[in-house]
Amino acid sequence: MNQRTALTFAGIAATLCPAAAQVFVSTDTYTWHGDTISQGEFFATAPSETSIVSTYSATPGYFMPIDKEWHLKNDISAYPRLKTPNRLHTAIYNMGLDEMVNAVEPDTTLRTGKEWAGVWTRDVSYSILLSMAYMQPEAARISLMKKVDPLGRIIQDTGSGGAWPVSTDRMIWAVAAWEVYKVTGDMEWLRYVYPIVKRSLEDDLKTAYDPVTGLVKGETSFIDWREQSHPKWMQTADIYSTQTLSTSVVHARAWQVLADMAETLGHKKEAREARAQAEALAAAINEQLWLDDKGYYAMYLYGRDNLISNPRADNLGEALAIMWDVAPEERAAILSQSMPVTPFGPPIFYPQISDMPPYHNNALWPWVASWWGLASAKTGNEDGVMQAIGSVFRPAALFATNKENLNLDNGDIATELNSSNMLWCLSGNIALTHKILFGLDFRKDGLAFHPFVPKAMKATRSLEGFRYRDAVLNITVEGYGDKIKEFTVNGKRQEPFIPAKKAKGTMDVRIVMDDQDIEPMRVNNVANAKAPLTPITWLEETQLVWNPIEYINHYVVIRDGERIAETRSTTFDASTPGEYQVIGVADSGIESFASEPRSTRKAMSFQVPGEKTAMVSEEISYPASEKPAGYRGRGFVETDHANPTVTIPVVVPEEGRYAITVRYANGNGPVNTENKCAIRTLLVDGHKEGVVVLPHRGRANWNDWGTSNSVIATLPAGRHEITLTLLPENENMNIHTNHALIDCVTLTRLK
């Protein structure tokens, strides 16, 4: 600690007087009082509007150092200036601007974080939606253009099993691109992005939409570390089959955006079609994922041949469902009061996974908490807004930077990975002030205002030098409440809306709130909780057996996706054919993940004609250390761009619904990253039945044979031809390598 810091701390300690300071937020773990945030023995405060100092000490031995003070380094005079009575609020806002300047690279792209170089599709898109569209419109535009591939499609960043379509949240790019248009009104930009959005959505519709539920397949949006949000037994092909809230909501909004784009460009037929897709997907989310007993949406559906619900709450998905009107108004109000909020703030999901370290699991990410704050304001939840703001301001002050994520057990930064100067977190920091307290709402034809000022933050505050189109706005908000009493521009009363065509010159905007108490709503404050471990099951002849789980109340047995029994035993009679799973239930009622499905149904395997034992494809990314082994029959068949179609004759003994899977190997990349997931359309007798995804199983690991996702088809008895073919919509993110080994096809007759 240098001498200046020591003297600053001494001065703060001498003048700090919590009892006399106004309390803005207080939970079981921290308090924001006056210009100080306290957590146990630690505190952080703002000696000035351009500095923050903290006494926080991190978990001993953690590899990442703590920034104990922030002092303004960059010139932020070109950006909107906040004036508010609370010095800490102003300092946290200014720190967001300071770090935003750091985030703009020399090539005018937005850097993801201090520890994360480059532009990432989801990171930059969510940041643009929060505040970078209007704070850094040119950098936002250039960054989005970096995430378009040579085929004119939105890039899904590298990820589990080879990225798209195991991960499918790339469509957040479309929503961000529309936000840039709303801010700038640039028709050239709109004409550029429209075909990209349309082409990408159409490919996703063919590849990643479930024909039965209508939901979108793939990982939860941004939670892209497999075991951080899924049971350990799930392969990446299983993750492709999950149908998630957050990603489905993103797609619903993307279809709505496509409709708005088409309408603006005069494509009326395309606009109608896209709007119908948006409405259908929103209806599917409400039908398939809403949990009446919880008051929120399930995180995802998962399994194999029979999907079940994961009843965890997904903060981002729940918030976006409110923000983008997927949740009807009445349901949004229920959701706002039901989403679990821990003492450190809204978790990424709840409850936590017991045997996973904190990162996405057991964590708060400030930018996601910012979305929850915006959603709380939209539903009129005053306490929800204050707790969301507190959960963002606490770590910003104590760590003197906009950190990536925080441990929900103790509020610390000791997680698997972390970064300072995190783009989407600083973007959320800025958005809380602009979009809640000043109520800025960009529309395609103008700027609307609907401030939401909690009574605890009653004040006169101003935002000077806010640039919108050809105008510079000086905005003042007086009082508190959620209703505007008076709105004037340059002294003249008008509706709280500035048309884009009239946004010219200097405009002094004065907003007087009605100073009426906001109708109270509750916050579902809960202790941070962890779910029981996932049971491990196996079959012993006709008995389903599993390991005992400590501190368990009872087990639930599932057959074919239906709960059929509760037991305290660790065995169950599985003589009735079916797909079995087991869930452990704690005394609190919190449930574990369901165990890996175990099927007692007989499966039929069919080898591929023309099998070989050596690879010859030019698309092999990594040399095999040895010949592939472990295949069944006489070998395997390679499929790539040169050999895009594989046909397998099968014989079905009786009519019925069959699960069709492919046994495959893909050693073109590691399990957790890169972009060479192999994708094929599955045809039965020439008719499309679905898409088969063959993700990476380890770099150069050609001896590791896995099972694809299931495609369900109704087949009459007799001979059939199953064809796997590479269609244009199956082109992956790599483009050059779309390659796998096919060993055999398996058919299992379902109930």
Indicate whether 593 and 648 sit together in one domain. no
- The pLDDT assigned to 18 comes to 47
- At 423, is the secondary structure helix, strand, or coil? helix
In a domain, 501, yes or no: no
Q: How far is CA 199 from the centre of its chain?
A: 22
In a domain, 545, yes or no: yes
Q: Specify the DSSP class assigned to residue 72.
A: -
In a domain, 172, yes or no: yes
- The pLDDT assigned to 624 comes to 65
**Structural domain ending residue among the three candidates 334, 352, 370:** 334
In a domain, 277, yes or no: yes
In a domain, 414, yes or no: no
Kindly report the number of other CB atoms within 10 A of residue 563's CB atom: 12
CATH of the domain at 542: 2.60.40.10
Indicate whether 204 and 246 sit together in one domain. yes
Pairing of strands 31-33, 36-39: antiparallel
- The pLDDT assigned to 65 comes to 77
Buried-state track 353-377, b at ≥16 Cβ within 10 A, e below 16: bbebebbbbbbbbbbbbbbbbbbbb
**pTM for the predicted model, two decimal places:** 0.96
- The pLDDT assigned to 17 comes to 45
Indicate whether 581 and 677 sit together in one domain. no
Indicate whether 683 and 735 sit together in one domain. yes
- The pLDDT assigned to 661 comes to 98
Indicate whether 168 and 184 sit together in one domain. yes
In a domain, 302, yes or no: yes
- The pLDDT assigned to 14 comes to 44
- Report d(CA 17, CA 34) in Å as an integer: 9
- The pLDDT assigned to 1 comes to 43
- Cα-Cα-Cα-Cα dihedral sign, residues 425, 430, 432, 436: negative
| Digit-coded pLDDT (tens) for 497-514 | 999 999 999 999 999 999
Indicate whether 557 and 609 sit together in one domain. no
- The pLDDT assigned to 63 comes to 75
Residues 379, 322 contacting (CB under 8 angstroms): yes
CATH of the domain at 192: 1.50.10.10
Indicate whether 577 and 627 sit together in one domain. no
Indicate whether 186 and 172 sit together in one domain. yes
Indicate whether 564 and 607 sit together in one domain. no
Q: Specify the DSSP class assigned to residue 481.
A: B
CA-based end-to-end distance of the chain? 69
Indicate whether 718 and 589 sit together in one domain. no
Our CA angle for 480, 481, 487, nearest 5°, is 80
- The pLDDT assigned to 415 comes to 95
Indicate whether 197 and 324 sit together in one domain. yes
DSSP per-residue letters across 588-609: TSPBPPPPPPEE-S-EEEEEPT
CATH of the domain at 720: 2.60.120.260
**Structural domain ending residue among the three candidates 599, 620, 635:** 599
CB-count burial class (<10 Å; 0-12, 13-18, 19+) for 474: middle
- How many structural domains does the chain have? 3
Residues of the chain short of pLDDT 70, as ranges, are 1-20, 624-626
- The pLDDT assigned to 20 comes to 65
Print the domain residue range for 693.
603-749
In a domain, 514, yes or no: no
Indicate whether 239 and 210 sit together in one domain. yes
In a domain, 568, yes or no: yes
Query: How many alpha carbons fall within 13 Å on the CB side of residue 127?
Result: 32
**Structural domain ending residue among the three candidates 302, 334, 366:** 334
- The pLDDT assigned to 622 comes to 82
- Report d(CA 695, CA 218) in Å as an integer: 12
